[in-house]
Amino acid sequence: MEFRYLGNSGLKISEITYGNWLTHGSQVENDVATECVHAALDAGITTFDTADAYANTKAEAVLGDALKGQRRQSLEIFTKVYWPTGPAGPNDVGLSRKHILGSIDGSLSRLQTDYVDLYQAHRYDTETPLEETMQAFADVVRAGKALYIGVSEWTADQIRAGHSLAKDLGIQLISSQPQYSLLWRVIEPEVVPTCKELGIGQIVWSPIAQGVLSGKYQPGQPPPQGSRATDDKGGADMIRRFMNDTVLSRVQALKPIADELNLTMAQLAVAWVLQNDNVSAALVGASRPAQVHENVKAAGVRIPDEAMKRIDEALGDVVERDPAKTAENAPQTRPV
């Protein structure tokens, strides 16, 4: 395993980070989820990312149980706050002071830890003053419940404003967690340059495009049974944008490149996002331990420039690059 600094902080994290969105507490049984976490630990992964909203708090609880008995100082545990949790009452959502301060205590209890290394705003809250949000985060840090602060799916302007307030409050906003993959590059024009300027690192989610870049979805054929594209608990909705024959045909053109580099297509996809020098870690999930062992082989891989050019040529115009997509995909009002 290779390790990278998270932004300009002194915190090092495993460049392959284990995430349990859409799996723990939902798609896979708890014993299999625990096996996946233990496989990650065996592979040298020390960084684990979750959120209170995943499986409506169940994912945090599963991760806490799976990490029980591990040396806490040797782990980096991340979680997030924003989306509705619990009974989804009027204050069970968003980035108000009430929701943040209540949510961090719930997350710590489920994760069975006294602190998280990184506490992230899971989306931008248009209905709460940013000053209130950042003050609440500052109080969480000063209380010793989180070491650093991050954001997820914020625009470049939102990140800049949040970073400025954090600096004024004496806390460190060090990370951004956006979607980023060979097929989804919307952070490159604005978010990445802004974050480089401010010393913020990317922890990118869905580097394999919810499995599309693994090559298992074939053009003109139905998705394999049990795959994310058949999951009615949220997986199918997330993957739908890529499930057309044009995209799938272009993805299949990556296989010869992966073969030449002695990589699987999934490993190629993970190695590609790690090629970006603003990316601190690629988030990977798993529904079985074997997937963890395969994905970690992307750590430390360097893709030659010639192969990078061929990748771009193979994918062509199916790549989404519009920076406006970050704002378009964000909630305009608090979800209920």
Q: Is residue 323 part of a domain?
A: yes
**Partner residues linked to 85 by β-bridges:** none
> For residue 226, how many other CB atoms are within 10 A of its CB?
10
The pLDDT tens digits along the chain (336 residues) read 999 999 999 999 999 999 987 655 455 567 888 899 999 999 999 999 999 999 889 999 999 999 999 999 999 999 999 999 988 789 999 999 999 999 999 999 999 999 999 999 999 999 999 999 999 999 999 999 999 999 999 999 999 999 999 999 999 999 999 999 999 999 999 999 999 999 999 999 999 998 899 998 888 777 766 655 556 665 556 777 898 989 999 999 999 999 999 999 999 999 999 999 999 999 998 888 998 999 999 999 999 999 999 999 999 999 999 999 999 999 999 987
Q: Is residue 333 part of a domain?
A: no
pLDDT at 102: 96
For residue 156, give the CATH number of its domain: 3.20.20.100
Please name which of 108, 122, 6 lies closest in space to residue 63, comparing C-alpha atoms: 108
pLDDT at 227: 59
pLDDT at 321: 96
Total domains, the chain:
1
Question: Letter for the amino acid at 148?
Answer: Y
DSSP state of 223: P
- Structure-block tokens of residue 100: 């943040």
DSSP state of 221: S
pLDDT at 222: 75
Q: Is residue 80 part of a domain?
A: yes
User: For tokens 């771009």, what's the residue?
Assistant: 312
The values of phi and psi at residue 70, to 5°, are: -80, 150
pLDDT at 101: 98
286 neighbors 20 (Cβ within 8 angstroms):
no
pLDDT at 286: 84
pLDDT at 66: 93
Q: Is residue 11 part of a domain?
A: yes
What's the CA gap between 19 and 54, in Å, rounded? 10
Give Cα 260 to chain centroid, integer Å.
Answer: 28
71 neighbors 107 (Cβ within 8 angstroms):
no
Q: Choose the catalytic residue: 18, 54, 124, 217.
A: 54
Q: Is residue 113 part of a domain?
A: yes
Please name which of 289, 314, 299, 306 lies closest in space to residue 23, comparing C-alpha atoms: 289
CA atoms within 13 A on the CB side of 302: 3
Q: Please give the radius of gyration of the chain, using alpha carbons only, rounded to the nearest integer.
A: 19
Active site residue 54: yes
**Partner residues linked to 19 by β-bridges:** 49
Q: Is residue 42 part of a domain?
A: yes
Q: Is residue 200 part of a domain?
A: yes
pLDDT at 86: 83
pLDDT at 88: 79
12 neighbors 45 (Cβ within 8 angstroms):
no
Q: Is residue 169 part of a domain?
A: yes
What's the CA gap between 186 and 178, in Å, rounded? 9
What is 46-83 written as a DSSP string?
-EEE--TTTTTTHHHHHHHHHTTTS-GGG-EEEEEE-S
CA atoms within 13 A on the CB side of 14: 27
pLDDT at 241: 86
Please name which of 198, 182, 211 lies closest in space to residue 276, comparing C-alpha atoms: 182
pTM: 0.92
What's the CA gap between 101 and 136, in Å, rounded? 7
What range does the domain containing 44 cover? 3-328
